[in-house]
Structure 1
Amino acid sequence: MAIVVESEKACTVNPLKMSQPLGASYAAMGLDACMPVMHGSQGCTSFGLVQLVRHFREAIPLQTTAMNEVTTILGGYENVETALLNIRNRAAPKIIVLCSTGLTETNGEDIVGHLAMVRKRKPELNDTELVYVSTPDYVGAFENGYGHAITAIVKALVKPLPTVRQQVNLLPGSHLSPGDIDELREIVGAFGLDPIILPDVSRSLDGHVAPVWRGTTLGGTTLDQIRMAGASAFTIGVGEQTREGAQTLESIAGMPFEIFERLTGLESNDRLLQRLAQLSGRAVPAKYRRQRSQLLDAMLDAHFYTGGIKVALGAEPDLLLAIGSLLQDMGAELSVCVSTTTSASHALLPANRVVLGDLEDMERAASSCDLLITHSHGRQMAARLGKPLMRVGLPVFDRIGNAHRCQIGYRGTMNFIFEIANLLIAQIANHHPTDWALPQSSIAVAAAVPDMN
């Protein structure tokens, strides 16, 4: 169990975390025909928009109520009403998800009251679902906002329905890429189960060329699917951030749930397949038995390079746990762990300490590490330290194909292990050009043996 400590610096130097409103907006982008709206200044929305556009290299639908100095003092009701009407008239979304920001939360606005008043005054909005998420950006982080958005969507749109035995709800964490969600859908479907994925960015942010541009999200969980979630027989959540949403589904529709803390690794995927076999009454398909065997072989091949290395990790809690646990399984030491916010996931991390801080905290402690793992803002740190950097999480803006990376399931875990091992092999080749094929452990032994010639 890791001890969690907060950085004692007076300011953040090289930020690791992103805000709650951006996390909630990202969850809304997994809903079909949806428009996420940040209730705050234009700068808040512009910053988040840039991060997502750079990561996915796609047009991102994200709007703002454009609060300014005057409306901040006098109240933002008119801004909310104007924004909702303009969005409805121009883009015709089926769902609008309104996320608060630090500005409006500090001001103490009654946004729930605003939305109720807008409904009374503007009946033309009755054909649009309105979901409000409270996401002050002065507390929490990206995955908190994402989790709160799932809960708000469930509360607003899900009602109890007669159970459909073969239907299950999947609540993917924000650390799962569109490629990860596609893999999860395929795994669940292989057991004859019908998954409702909430939210589903694999249909909206998967890098496809849409035939038309609507101005809203193009793909994702439809409104009908969200409503049908109340008929599912079971809910599977991936990551601690989905627990609140799963509990809310249970309280509304009475369905049991299970939270998988990670799906990167061997044991956790074994548990998932056993659960799916139990739910479906089917045996585990042969292709997954073979994939498991391939993963075991990959772990054997790669552990020569990962065994005994020191790793510095900087990531959101659930991603930190997924990557850190796999590396520990592969014999690596989690020497430096930096995260963004408190989470129950930290109690499961096989490390001595987790620092809630920034990338400067990570850099100061990582000089003796062999591998750095964080998002693209760690590239300068890696250059200064002369260490290999594996880019994970969001944003990754200096590499392409982020939407299609898969790091879950047996196959995704195997790909992830190969990526780490190949980074380490490349590092060995740079420093020991004549011994590039030797494992890291062999290089260390060779360096310790004196040359007798």
Structure 2
Amino acid sequence: MATVVVPNKPVVVNPLKQSQTLGAALAFLGLKGMMPLLHGSQGCTAFAKVILVRHFREAIPLSTTAMTEVTTILGGEENVEEAILTLVQKSQPEIIGLCTTGLTETRGDDMEGILKDFRKRHPELDELPIILVSSPDFKGALQDGFAAAVESTVKEIPLPGEKKTQQITILMSSAFAPGDVQQVKEIVTAFGFTPIIVPDLSASLDGHLDDSYSPITGGGTTLVQLHKVGSSVFTLALGESMRNAAKILQHRFGTPFEVFTELTGLEPTDRFLQFLAELSGSSVPEKYRRQRRQLQDAMLDTHFYFGRKRVSLALEPDLLWSTVCFLQSMGAEIQAAVTTTRSPLLEKLPIDKVTIGDLEDFEQLAAGSDLLIGNSHIAAIAKRLGIPLYRQGIPIFDRLGNGQFTKVGYKGTIQMLFDIGNLFLEAEEASIKDTNIYGDW
């Protein structure tokens, strides 16, 4: 059991966490025909947009209610109404995701009342789903906002219906990149299931060229699929932060669920595939049996480089959990773990302590490590400490391919093994580059 440490500091130095608002917007980007609408100042939306554009290197649809000093004091009801009407006229979204920000949450806007009044004044838009999520950026972190958006979605959109024997719902947490979502989709489909992924970032932010430009999301979970979620026979919640959303579906439709906190590594992938085999009544496809043997061979090839290596991580809780478990399964030691927000997983981590802090805390705790793991903001720390960095999380703006990277399943685990193993190998080579290992000839 880990001890959760919260430093008693008067100010955050070099922040690690991203805001709840950013997390909610990211979740909404996994829904097709979506336009996330941030209720706050233009700067709030611009900042979130810059982070997402730099990370995915894609056009990111985001809009704002453009609150000013005057409307912040007098109230933002007119701004919300005008923003929605403008979006309907110019962008024609199929769904609008309305996210609050610290500005409007601090003021205390009655968002449910504002939406209720809007519906009364514009009955012609009754068929337009508007998903409201409370995502203040003065508390919580990206993972919290992402989870809150998924919870609001499954609470409002799915409709009851006759159960479909092969249809299951998969709730994906913020720990999974678009490439991860695609890999999960392929695995589940191989067992004969028809999965509905919520949200499906693999169809919107995987990095692809559309036939024509669209001001709204061109891919993701469709509104029709969201309506059918109530007909699923089972829910797979991938990531501890998806547990509450799965409970909502269980309460609304009686859908049983199972939570998988990690899908990286041999044993977690074994458990996931065995569960799918039992749920479907079929055997594990030969394709994945071979991938398992490939992973075993990769573990044999790389475990020499992982053994007793000291690793320090700065990640969101769900991603921190899965990465720590994976590293320890390969014989690495966790020197420091810093995260952004509270989670039931933190106390269960198989390490001495985990710190909810900032990158100043991380830099102090990580000195002397063999490897750092975190987003691109840690690159400067890695350079100062002279320690290799393996990039994980959001944002990663100094590397390409973030939409395609995968770390789940046997195949994704192999990729992580070789990527991290190569960093360890390069570090060892660099440490002996000035040594004449052959002696004098």
TM class, shorter-length: over 0.9
C-alpha contact 1:428 1:435 (8 A) present in aligned 2 = no
Alpha-carbon offset, residue 295 of structure 1 = 1.1
- Within the alignment, does 1:278 sit opposite 2:313 as a pair? no
Report what 2:16 is aligned to: 16
Equivalent residues in 2 for 1:59-78, closer than 5 Å: 59-78=59-78
C-alpha contact 1:40 1:104 (8 A) present in aligned 2 = yes
Report what 1:441 is aligned to: none
Report what 2:151 is aligned to: 151
Report what 1:27 is aligned to: 27
Measure, in 2, the Cα distance between the counterparts of 1:297 and 1:7: 42
Measure, in 1, the Cα distance between the counterparts of 2:227 and 2:389: 42
Equivalent residues in 2 for 1:73-222, closer than 5 Å: 73-222=73-222
Alpha-carbon offset, residue 303 of structure 1 = 1.1
Report what 1:333 is aligned to: 333
Measure, in 1, the Cα distance between the counterparts of 2:263 and 2:392: 15
Measure, in 2, the Cα distance between the counterparts of 1:371 and 1:258: 33
- Within the alignment, does 1:366 sit opposite 2:374 as a pair? no
Report what 1:410 is aligned to: 410
- Within the alignment, does 1:379 sit opposite 2:388 as a pair? no
C-alpha contact 1:53 1:59 (8 A) present in aligned 2 = yes
Look up the SS of the partner of 2:156 in the other structure.
helix
Look up the SS of the partner of 2:258 in the other structure.
strand
- Within the alignment, does 1:239 sit opposite 2:239 as a pair? yes
Measure, in 2, the Cα distance between the counterparts of 1:211 and 1:246: 35
Report what 1:255 is aligned to: 255
Alpha-carbon offset, residue 433 of structure 1 = 2.2
Measure, in 1, the Cα distance between the counterparts of 2:399 and 2:348: 30
Identity across the alignment (%): 51
TM-score (norm 2): 0.97
Q: Deviations over 1:370-407 (max 9, x none)?
A: 00000000000000000000000110000000000010
Measure, in 2, the Cα distance between the counterparts of 1:300 and 1:352: 28
Alpha-carbon offset, residue 9 of structure 1 = 2.1
Alpha-carbon offset, residue 89 of structure 1 = 0.6
Report what 2:226 is aligned to: 226
Measure, in 2, the Cα distance between the counterparts of 1:384 and 1:97: 41
Look up the SS of the partner of 1:387 in the other structure.
coil
Amino acid at match of 1:201: L
Alpha-carbon offset, residue 153 of structure 1 = 0.5
Look up the SS of the partner of 2:195 in the other structure.
strand
Look up the SS of the partner of 1:98 in the other structure.
strand
Alpha-carbon offset, residue 269 of structure 1 = 1.1
Measure, in 2, the Cα distance between the counterparts of 1:124 and 1:79: 19
Amino acid at match of 2:363: E
Q: Deviations over 1:157-205 (max 9, x none)?
A: 1122111011110111111111101100000000010000000010000
Alpha-carbon offset, residue 126 of structure 1 = 2.4
Look up the SS of the partner of 1:140 in the other structure.
coil
Measure, in 1, the Cα distance between the counterparts of 2:346 and 2:32: 33
Structure 2: tracts of 5 or more residues without a match = none
Report what 1:296 is aligned to: 296
C-alpha contact 1:299 1:417 (8 A) present in aligned 2 = yes
Give the 3 Å change call, closer, same or farther, for CA 418–434 of structure 1 in structure 2.
farther
Report what 1:444 is aligned to: none
TM-score (norm 1): 0.95
For structure 1, which segment, 79-88 or 101-110, has the greater mean C-alpha deviation from structure 2 after superposition? 101-110
Report what 1:356 is aligned to: 356
For structure 1, which segment, 377-386 or 291-300, has the greater mean C-alpha deviation from structure 2 after superposition? 291-300
Report what 2:424 is aligned to: 424
Look up the SS of the partner of 1:88 in the other structure.
helix
Amino acid at match of 2:121: R
Q: Deviations over 1:131-152 (max 9, x none)?
A: 1001111111001011011110
Look up the SS of the partner of 1:398 in the other structure.
coil
Amino acid at match of 1:154: V
Alpha-carbon offset, residue 435 of structure 1 = 8.0
Report what 1:311 is aligned to: 311
Report what 1:389 is aligned to: 389
Alpha-carbon offset, residue 128 of structure 1 = 1.5
Q: Deviations over 1:337-377 (max 9, x none)?
A: 00000001213322111111111111111111100000000
C-alpha contact 1:85 1:125 (8 A) present in aligned 2 = no
Amino acid at match of 1:261: T
C-alpha contact 1:88 1:125 (8 A) present in aligned 2 = no
Report what 1:55 is aligned to: 55
C-alpha contact 1:203 1:219 (8 A) present in aligned 2 = yes
Q: Deviations over 1:246-299 (max 9, x none)?
A: 110111111100010010111111111111111111001111111111111211
Amino acid at match of 1:131: I
Amino acid at match of 2:313: L
Measure, in 2, the Cα distance between the counterparts of 1:358 and 1:297: 38
C-alpha contact 1:159 1:252 (8 A) present in aligned 2 = no
Look up the SS of the partner of 1:338 in the other structure.
strand
Measure, in 2, the Cα distance between the counterparts of 1:178 and 1:291: 21
Q: Deviations over 1:418-440 (max 9, x none)?
A: 1110011111111212789x9xx
For structure 1, which segment, 288-297 or 43-52, has the greater mean C-alpha deviation from structure 2 after superposition? 288-297
Report what 2:37 is aligned to: 37
Look up the SS of the partner of 1:202 in the other structure.
helix
Measure, in 2, the Cα distance between the counterparts of 1:119 and 1:224: 22
Structure 1: tracts of 5 or more residues without a match = 439-450
Amino acid at match of 1:414: I
Measure, in 1, the Cα distance between the counterparts of 2:9 and 2:347: 24
C-alpha contact 1:334 1:350 (8 A) present in aligned 2 = no
Measure, in 1, the Cα distance between the counterparts of 2:259 and 2:435: 44
Measure, in 2, the Cα distance between the counterparts of 1:268 and 1:172: 16
